[in-house]
Amino acid sequence: MIRLRIPDGRDAMSERMDRKREERRSRLLDVAEKMIAAKGIEGMTMEEVARAADVAAGTTYLHFKNKNALCAAVLARIVKQAAAAEAEAAESCETGSEKLLAYRKALAGFSARHPEKREVMRQLRRIDFDEEDADARELISEYNRVAQLVAGFYHEGIEEGTIRPGLDPVPAAIFLQLALTTASDLPKWLIAVLRMNDVDPGRWANVTDDLLTAATHAPRRKDPAESDIRPGHAKRKRRSAG
């Protein structure tokens, strides 16, 4: 006998409630992100976020434990968005070195396309998040996913011989993340020093990129066809032989 399954009205209602909850949470994150970009972390409050999102004042606390938890969720979402762009850029590359370069370019491109998100990341990087909070743990997980992704690129490069042997992939990946974010977030006094020395942002970016590459990549193997003899040395050598 064939039994027909009658849809449970409670399941459908539960799905609708979950969907509305996620939509509300996303709206709160959108508002908080825009508010931090415009006013800074000090200018954003849970009450103002609720008001701008057109929800009850206590609704924000149903989704986020406190202001720091909300900030952690905002930052986690941006990190996830940037990571998606970085992973997509690396997909078309073959070698670990190419993937590392694509990762760095994708991160720079994401920051250039979304200056407001870059500002939010700058504002929130220094917050002391509570690691016991669920949103803070999600943020840490997102950062770790990026670290593991980049560590994989380093590992591939080591196997190929393009990254110097002995380099520890995970610490190298974390250092690269730190170096890239720090290099793009200089204090005003350092920007002034660069300007005094006629170093524009493009030149600064090229130098930092060269330094990061030189620190991790294996020396380029010399082509056997290349000569070690300096210009003019060959002539002197032939004369002395004669």
Question: What is residue 1's predicted lDDT score, i.e. its pLDDT?
Answer: 52
Which residue has better confidence, 36 or 222?
36
Which residue has better confidence, 224 or 161?
161
Whether CATH 3.40.50 fits 17-63: no
Fold of 76-219: Tetracycline Repressor; domain 2 (1.10.357)
Question: What is residue 20's predicted lDDT score, i.e. its pLDDT?
Answer: 87
Residue from 203, 205, 211, 212 nearest 177 by CA: 212
Phi, psi (deg, nearest 5) at residue 200: -85, 170
Question: What is residue 5's predicted lDDT score, i.e. its pLDDT?
Answer: 56
Per-residue confidence band for 222, with pLDDT thresholds at 50, 70 and 90: low
Strand, helix or coil at 236?
A: helix
- pLDDT, one tens digit per residue, over 85-136 is 999 999 999 999 999 999 999 998 999 999 999 999 999 987 889 989 999 9
Question: What is residue 221's predicted lDDT score, i.e. its pLDDT?
Answer: 59
Per-residue confidence band for 240, with pLDDT thresholds at 50, 70 and 90: very low
Phi, psi (deg, nearest 5) at residue 163: -110, 140
Residue type, 10: R
Q: Which residues, listed in sequence order, are joined to residue 163 by a DSSP beta bridge?
A: 217
pTM above 0.85, yes or no: no
Q: Are 164 and 218 in contact (CB under 8 A)?
A: yes
Q: Kindly list the domain boundaries of the chain, sorted by start residue.
A: 17-63, 76-219
- pLDDT, one tens digit per residue, over 3-31 is 555 555 667 777 777 788 899 999 999 99
- What 55-58 contacts at long range (C-beta under 8 Å, 24+ apart), as own/partner pairs, is 55/24, 55/27, 55/28
Question: What is residue 8's predicted lDDT score, i.e. its pLDDT?
Answer: 58
Rounded to the nearest integer, the mean pLDDT of the chain is 86
- Mean pLDDT on 170-194: 90
Question: What is residue 229's predicted lDDT score, i.e. its pLDDT?
Answer: 46
